[in-house]
Structures are given as structure tokens and as C-alpha cells.
Structure 1
Amino acid sequence: MIIKVAQSAGFCFGVQRAVEGVLAWAKANKGKSIKVYGMLIHNSYVIDKLKELGVEVVEDIEKICKEDIIFIRSHGVSKEEYVEIEKRADKVYDFTCPYVKKIHEIVMEHSENGYDIIVVGDMNHPEVKGIVGHVSNNRKCFVVDGIEKVKEAINQIEGKAAIVCQTTFDSKKWTSIKDFLESHTNYKVFDTICKATINRQKEAAELAQHVDIMLVVGDKKSSNTNKLYQLLKEIKPTFFIEKVEDLDSIKLDSSAKSIGVTAGASTSPEQIEEVVKHLEEKFNEMNLKDFERLIDRSFLTVQRGEVVKGRIIKVEEDYVLVDIGYKAEGIIYKDEVIKNGNVNLKDLFKIGETIEAVVIKESDEEGNVVLSKYRADVLHGFEELLSRYENKEPVRVVVKSIKEKSVVCDFRGTNVYVPISQWGEDVQTSDIGKIFEIEITDVNKEKKIAFGSRKSLLKQKEEERFIKQIESLDFSREYEGIVVEIKQKGIVVNFENLCGFVPASEVGYLKKGADLKKLFEIGEKVKVKILDIDKNKKQIYLSIKKTQDDEWAKRIKNLYLGMLVDCEVTKVLSFGLVVWITEHDVDGFVHISNIPLGYNQRPHNVYKVGDSLKAKVIEIDEEKRRVALSLKDLHEEENIDTEHNEDFVITLADFVKNIKLEQ
């Protein structure tokens, strides 16, 4: 019989951190009152081991005393519980899984900023209870485990919402719920399911394809172990093993030639080892590499001064936790990252990143290995900087101080000097402790120092940002912008973190020569559309006019040449009259050449503001937005009509008179 053990079987790093931390503390502090609030992990085997060392499990906060040293379980607790525990206990050590901690931060931040919260998970699970306990009191919170309950929650949410998921929730169910939310709402969805859980399930499913029988080792109270079992029994005959004695009750098919072994995230290496040993004794054959991997960690040692590599598993403002393949995590405090640097470590490191550090203490009071990244940087930092320089790769540096002519930065223990002229923007004292990206321009190998520049990188990034942003612009869309400058030839508008220019001809349907400073104010909000983009000049041309209806065009729509209209004089000029065409609510102009005046008369001798007139439309110039009228043409027509009438009457009278005379 071939026995194959899944590589990811057993403790995840969060559980391992909690268990080994408490065990180390209990062994080093015998006689002290050490308690775990709630089940540290869902594993009776481990809890029994802790009890043997004098660690007590308490479920009631009232039972916590002043002399107690309290460890917070890996599932986490509510905000109120944590505050109350701190008040009651002598010391509190928080072993909440870093992934769960991250969910607490998301829920707190968003609920405090007006978001309702939806938690996808099992409402009876301690992790979910802890998450709910971090929701702001004035916000709604819903716990759901299926799409129907999601729909019910959506119907009760009026505004914005944020979604998180229990770290050990079923990955398939979570995917379907996440897809539904993303396609039916605009809520913020955070994919907080533990990637280790997903990877464990994928690997176990893959292993099941190549064996005849699967065994899942773990506690039936464990959520992720149960889900692993439910997944695998759909693929191959699968048995749940809580203790080694359960193996004796399993009846194996005579045709079975291989067994796969996996375990939940809360299953200890010792439990897996017992099961594997029992199988090995029973069937006398197994994959030795799988077995060796399970016990390797128990024999690893670290020594002061040793350089170790590890993967970052947690980042806080003032410390970093690193998985170094040892029974305990490594911890790097801020002053062992950069000396005299006021920097937030969250800006420097990311979870999953691999780093190198020097062991400076085998174990602190919490059982962590204390590491120094700064000392490792001193050993290898200059070589890396030299390599980056030769390959023309930018580097991230921390500003240490600002001198009269340069900014002094640190790159892994090496001083890098950036001239003020090459900083690319105004240097601020607030830049000290911050991280910036620069390029290395020169290296002094003898003094082991370097010189750099930020100017060209900023220019390059600005160009990249501009190209990226303009590619997403929509010529058919209206954008809201703010007037930041008013010029003679147009106005400058900021929109979508970009700057555009509206030519005077595009600020609206205005008369030529209109004073833009009287029409707009700095800070005024305007709607604009993209008119044109000149990528070479990096200039965006905008139009306000394209967002407006042309009222003038609407009003003159029913005017036509030769039409007689009623007008009112609004201004008397030496060269004509400005009138208001009353029925159409639009200006018109009567040039002096189209006004019937007597000898040596001027418009102001005959007309005054407020006079009512009838005029004739003789021109409509849409480009110049002008309606030209005539009083003269109208007058001549009236004179002609009168003359014709008079001629007709005289002729008729004469005709009648002639008839009478003939009689």
C-alpha cells in the first residue's frame, strides 16, 4: 500500500503561530496563571496538550482575574470583548490569525465610514462572531451563507455596503456569492477567504485523483477540516480521522493500492505523524519524503548571528512577522529595519514577500525569534544597489535627512545622496521617513555610497499616467470639472485628475468678444466634453458648449426672411438700433441704412428706448448669431401701398364724375 501525504496538510501559519506561541510561553512560565479565552483552535488534541502544561481554557470573561496572562484565540474576538479582557488581565497576547485581523480592520474602517456590512459565513462560528463584533454600532450587519440570504440582506440595505467572507468558508459557495454581488450591486466586495484554505482544498482534490482512498485528519469541530472532508468524499471514498484509533474501524477495499492523507489547518503535525505511522505499520510502505517533511520543522534550530530567509506573514506599522521555517515566527521591529527612520512598515513590506534577516535573539517573551533586517542589509545591501545601478533599475529608498544641497536617503544600509535639483519637486521636512522611488546615477565603490535622481522618474511616471488616463477618456461622456484659471483666450479646467483647456469659442453660445472673467469664477463647477487630445503637446481641449442646449438656435427657429415682427427698442446707437424681438425672445439689430430718416436726422432724434416697432427680418446669420432687421423696407412697402390706394380712389372718382357729366 502506497501512502501519500498532502504537502499542505496540517497547521497553517496562523494556527501554528498561536499554538507554538502559547506552548513556548507555558513551558517558560510554569506556575503562572495562563489562560486562553475560548478554544485557541478547534482541535481537542491540542487543547488537551495545553491543559497538561497548566493552560486553562475560559469561555466566560468574568472568570479572568488580575494575575492572569490571557491569550486571544486564533479566531479572534469582538472589540468589546478585547477591551474588557485588557481591563481584567495582567497581560494580553493576541494570537488572532493575521488574515482574520485584516477582516476586523476592513469592517471597522468601512462601518465607521457609513457602510453597512455583509459577512458571508457561519453565524455560529467564533470567527464570524468576532468579525460582527467589530462593526460600528450605528450600521447594519448581516450574516449570510447563501444567495437567497444575500438577496434578503440587499433588500434591507439602502446605501453603500462592504462584503467580507469567513476565512474558512466553502470556496465554491463564496465564488458564487461573490459573482452574484459583483453583477447585481455596486457594493465593495473583499475576497477575504484564506488562500491557504483554497490551496489546501485544491491540492487535496488533486491528490484524490491519484489515490484509491482519502483520509482527512482533524477535529470534527473544525470548520475548514469539515469542508475538506465534504469536498473529498465527492471525489473518492473518504474517511474522517479524529484519533488514530479511528483507523481500526475502516474497512479498506481489497483492490485499494494507495491512500492519500490530508488534514485541516488546525491539525497538528503530531496527529498526522501518528496516523501515518499507524498506516505504515499496518501496510509497511509509504512515501518517505512526505513523512520527513512533517517532522523537519521540529528539529530545525536557529542561532544568533545566523542569516535566515523567510516569507512575510504579517505587517504592522512597527513590526513584521516572518515565517522562517522554524517552530516559531521571526519578528522584526521597526528599529531593526532602518535606523533613525520614522517610517511605516506597511509602506515598505507586503505579505508574501521573501526577505533576508539576521537572528539577534533566539526567543523573546512571546516565543518569537527576534530578527534584524538592517544587519542583513549591511551585509548585502550595497551589492544589490550596485546590481540595480548596472541594470538601470530604479530603487526604493527611505529619506533619512535633508541637507542644504541634497536629500540623504537609505537603501538597505547604504547612503544615497539626491541633489535638491534632482528631487523633481519641492522638498518638505515631512518627506523624512517616507519612501520614494529613485534611479541611481552614480556609485562610489570605495566609499560605498551612491548618488541618485528622482526628476526623470517623476517625468516618466507623469507621462505614463497621462497616457493611461487619456486612453480611458470617453469623447461622448460629460465630465464635471472645476475652473482653475481664466485666460483671455479661454479657461483652464481640472477634471478626472487631469487638466484641460476650453477655448473661448467653446465656453458656451456667447457673443464674440464676451468677457470670460465676468462669466466664470475660479472654483466654479462646470460640465465639459472632450473636444480633442494632442498627445505630443500633452494638451486636452474641452468644450462646455457641447454640454449645453443652443437656446439662441431654438428661439430663431421660427424666424424667416421677410417676416414682419414686433420689436421693442433696447438701445439707441449712432449707427443703428438694438431691439428685442418680443415674440421670439431674441436680440435683433437695425442698421442706420435700414432706418427711414429725414434729411440730417439721426436715430436718437426719432427713437428712444422702449419704443414699440414693427420690423422686417432681412438676414439671419447663425455663425455670428445675429438677426438683421429693417424698418426702411417696411416703410417703403407701406408708402407704395398708400400711393396705390390713392391713385385708385382718384381714378374711380374721376370715372364716376365723367359718367355724370355724360348724362
Structure 2
Amino acid sequence: MKIKRAKHSGFCFGVQNAIDKTEEAIRNNDRRTIYTCGQLIHNKGVTDSLHDRGVDIIDDISQAKNDDIVIVRSHGEPKEFYDKAKKLGVHLIDATCVFVSKIHDIVYEAYKSNRTIVIVGSKEHQEVKATNGWCNYSAHIIEGVSDANNLLKNIEFKDGDIPLIVCQTTIRRELLDEILNIFKKNEIEFEVKNTICNATRFRQESCKNLAEQVDAMIVIGDQNSSNSRKLFEIAEKNCKNAYFVQGISDLALQDFGNYNNIGITAGASTPEVTIKEVISRMNEEINKIEEQEEEMSMADFMEEIDKSLRLPRTGDIITGTIHEVRDDVIIVNMGVKKDGILPKSEVALEEGQELKDLFHEGDEIEAKVMKSDDGDGGILLSKKKLEMNENWKELNEALENKTNINVKLVRAVNRGVIAEYKEVSGFIPMSLLSDRYVEKADEFIGKNVDVKVIKIDNRRNRAVFSRKQVLLDEKRKQVAEIWENLNIGDVVEGKVMRFTDYGAFVDIGGVDGLLHISEISWGKLKHPQEVLSLGDIINVKILDLNEQKGKISLGLKQTTPEPWSLVGTKYNVGDIVEGKVVQIKEYGAFVELEAGLDGLVHISEIANKRVENVADEMTIGKVIKAKIMDIDSERKRISLSMKALLGEEDEESADEDKPEIQQTESEVAKASEAKEVEEPKANEEPHEEEVAEEPKEAEKTEE
């Protein structure tokens, strides 16, 4: 058995840099409090060690106080993080990976140029969240091909706006290529910055190459580490025996005894000491296994010698070779120091038959030991007794053919149940009594059930049965029948069983299907629980079936009308509608009328005045009323106007404002200067004429 380590594994440059800076901060600390905002790296062992040395974790920079030390994690932070830290007087030690910082610079420059920004990566990964924070959270985040398709369906790029595509440093290159192909197929011009870290690419290629060469592949990393999970996906794809562990405690070392070559790799946040510990312990286990194999080989050799000396005992069933057939007895060579004696009286013969009619020298024969010494130095055998034990033959046939037999459960014993098959008793372990956990066997006693024969010891007349295997086979048949009756396009009833960030799993009568988040609603969702709850009974449409992989794709939104189908019936030009602002652009705001149906309030249709900045008038989430001014069904566009709902008084005011809008800059400046001459400022003294008039007013009052 050999252990091979991937050429590129363990800490990357960025992670090592973050650890080094933290170690330095601990050494040079002058009693100030040290924090990391979130996990410094995705490795619980490392963060626990830092905690023991005085480095605590905060969730937000606002939890730090003036003069505290906060270490910026290798995944980076958004721009607002640094702004808040400066206001709070927090001392920052920036351990952001240089490759991540480079992405921040690229995104920030693109944002200042008002470009559309697309980030390929996981929405929940800190690196992606931080990068999005450098463009005021305006980026479109794509996790996979479906996200890319949805984005291109729901967005229209302005003329001259060439979207910039960047990516999370730890994603697979194949994922980036798949998404770029979507943009190309839709004839979208784009600029891509391949920001995948070379170290990540080398690590993934090294993992793939090694996984193809070994019998088992071990990936060491934290479950929260994105790059470690991707390594496991690669290992699992290229090696049929893949294991994802956090450390040596997660490995069942005895399971690796059958592998000749074992590969090991580790995520970018896995310490070297953890990798070496796993390799060291596995080497120790390999040495033990090899020693045991040597001992077993010697033991097997000694066992063969012992067998030749050891005589079979009464009740044993033996197999031997016929040495001689006489009129009244058969001599059997059993490979021991005594011969077997099979009398004619112990063989079932038909009338007129002789032993020589049925048996011949050199034939193999099976018999049961009646006595280990017949008094003349031989071992007394019986064929009749063996044939009477036909039940055991039936059990052997059931074992060989994997057929079911029916048994009665008669009594509970330690760790299982005794089951009777005709005259034979067998054992069912508690773990094989049901396909669910069984604490006590009392509920089963007295029942007749079908079982599988999974083990037989003919010498000791012992048998082991399994009811669990029968139940699992039945379930598999039921599932197969369900698959036969499923068709793409069918609408079926299902129950929501569990959630993931990317969708919900729905039981549709015995099999689970995936209801992807993009197929739940015509609108955009951040999580399936915005619409669904565990246990909900819903009608879903079957979108795709892959019986070979056991995967079913479901859709919920397809069971309701597509939003644009309502246009012309529910929505018409002139209607006054209410909706929520969901997106703000330079040229206006998009308003969601209902899930999947948006309208645009152009900047010129927001108010009866000149609007310079849409964000000054509108906020995300604000509910507004507007009038439908135009519907372009071919291009699927609805034009809305808030201005059209304003009163006549506002319209008159707007008409008065129009000349001002048409003024040139010089005219506006002159008007402003004139206004300043005519109207004194609040802190200036009034003119003499105004002072002189004051007594007159006073006199009038007295009169």
C-alpha cells in the first residue's frame, strides 16, 4: 500500500500571509484587543487556536472600539468596512489576499465608469460579498448556468455598456467557461477578467491527476471551505472512492486496508501540521495491516496443518473423496488421519439397489458425522441424516439464488431475534430486523415475515437472516414503478421535505425531485423559504428526468400563468397600478407589478420637475402607484408614469418650471446674481430705506 500526496496542496500564499500577519500581531500586541471580522480562514482548528491565544471573532466592524486591532481576513471586506473602521478609530491589519485585492480594484474602477459588473461565484462566499461591496452591491452574481440564462432574460444592456465579468478566485475554470459560452450564444459583447487564482488552478489540476491514478482519494479541509469542497467534487468525479475529512479523527483507518494506492490533497486553508498528521497516522495503520497480513498468512498455513490432524466432530457435515466402494460400506478419504465409514444402512437406497450402483471410486461425497470413532478406528458417517436435513439445503439454495424465505420470529435474544424456518433456527441481528432503527424487538415476536439468507455455517448449523434487505428490495421496486409512471410535462402533487440555498427537495410519491430556486417563482428569490415551508403540499411540473442518475427536475412557477400572459387582460394601457421598486438605474426605476413582471418609470416620468438623480426620488422596496402609458408586447416592456397621476396644481407648477429648465447655464447664473442683489442675506443689515419705514408702521399701529 502506498500513500501519494498531491503536488499542490495545503496553505496557499494568501492564507499563509493572513496567518503570518496574525502571528506577528499577537507577538507585537501591546495589550490592545485583537479581532478578526469573521473567520480569518475557513478552518475551525486554526480559528480555535487563535481564540485560545486571544484573537476573538466579531461579526461586524461596528462591534470593535477605538484603538482595537481588527485583522482583515484573506477573503477581503467591502469598501464600507474600511470607511466604518476609519470613523471608529480602529487599527486595521489588512491580510486580504493580493489576488482578491486586485479584483476589488478592477471592480471599483468599472463601477466608477458606470459599467455593468458580473461576478461568477457563490453568493454566500465572503470573497464574493466583499467584491460586490466595491461596486456598491450593484453586481450581478452568477453561481451557475441557470443563473446566467436568467440574468440575460431579465436584463437589457445599454448601448455602449460592455459588461465586465470577474470571478471568485477559487471557482473551477470549467464553470467560468460554461458561463462565458452562455454570453456568447446570446451574442452579448463582454469583457472578462479571469481572476481565478493560479494556485487554485494548480491545486485542482493536481487533485484531478492524482485521483485518476489511485484507488482512494482523501481531501482534507474544513466543510465551510469553498475550495476544499471543490477539490472533493473533483476527487469524487475522478476516483470511485473519495473521502472528505477535516482531520485524522474523521478517518476510519481500517476502511483503507483494501486499497493499494491512496492519494491525499488538502484545501488552501488546511494547515501543514494537519496534513502531516493524517499521512503519519495512515502510515502507522498501513504497517499494522501489513503485519496482520503476515500473521494471517502464517495462521492460514498452520490452520491447514491443524485441519489434517484435527478429526471432525459429531454432527459435522464433511466432504470427502470415495476411496473404496464395498458391498456393505463405503470408505471415504476426508483428508484427516482417519477414514470415514459410510455403512449401507445409512444410505437411502431404492429396492434392489446396491452401493456400487450409486457410488464410484474418486467421486466426491457429502455426509454427516454420526460418531468420531466407530470402534474400529474409523469415523462413522450417514447420508440419511444429511438428507433428512433438507431444510439446510433449501437455505443454501436461497442464499445462492438470493431468494426470499418465510420465517417465524419466535423470541428475542441479546442483540437480535431467533427466527424459525421449518425445523431450522436462524438469527436476525437487530440492525437487520427493519429498515428503520429498532430499539426493542418485542413488537415483531410471533410474526411471519419474508427474509433473505445472508450467511450459513454448515458445520455449526448456523444461519443469519435479514428482513431489512427484503424491505429495501421492495422499496427499490416501488421506486422503479414510480419512475416508469413519470413523464416530462406531468403535473404531480408533492411534499416539501428539505431546503438548500439553491432550492427545495420535494417528495413526489416515494422519490425526491429538486425544485431549483429559479423554478419556484416568476420573480427573483434569495431563498426558497420566501415562498415555501417544510411540509407544504404543492403541485409541481416535471421538467426533466434522469433515471440513470436518479435526478428529477421540478418546476412550480410553470403551474401558474407566465406573467406576460396577463398583459392585455389584467394590465392595459391607462390602468393605474401599484408596485414595488426593485431596481434603480440612471435612466429610471424598475417597478415589480407582480412576480416576474416589471415596468419602467423613466426618469422623465417620475415627477413634475427636473429629476437629476433617480435615487433622490426612489428607494429600493418603496411601493408606488403609476399609470400604464405603453405596452410593447413584442419586446416585453411596460412603460409607467408617476407624473401622470400628479394633480393639476402640480402640472401648473411644472409648466412654470419649464422655462427655467430651458434656460442656459449663463441665464441661470445671471438670475441667481440678480436674486442675490434683490434679497439681503439673513446675516446682513437692512438698507436705510427699510429702517426708515419701520416707525411709520409703528405709528399706524398706534393709530
The bucket for the TM-score relative to the shorter chain is 0.3 to 0.5
Give the TM-score of the pair, scaled to structure 2. Answer: 0.39
Q: Relative contact order: is structure 1 or structure 2 higher (C-alpha 8 Å, sep ≥ 6)?
A: 1
Report the TM-score when normalising by structure 1: 0.41
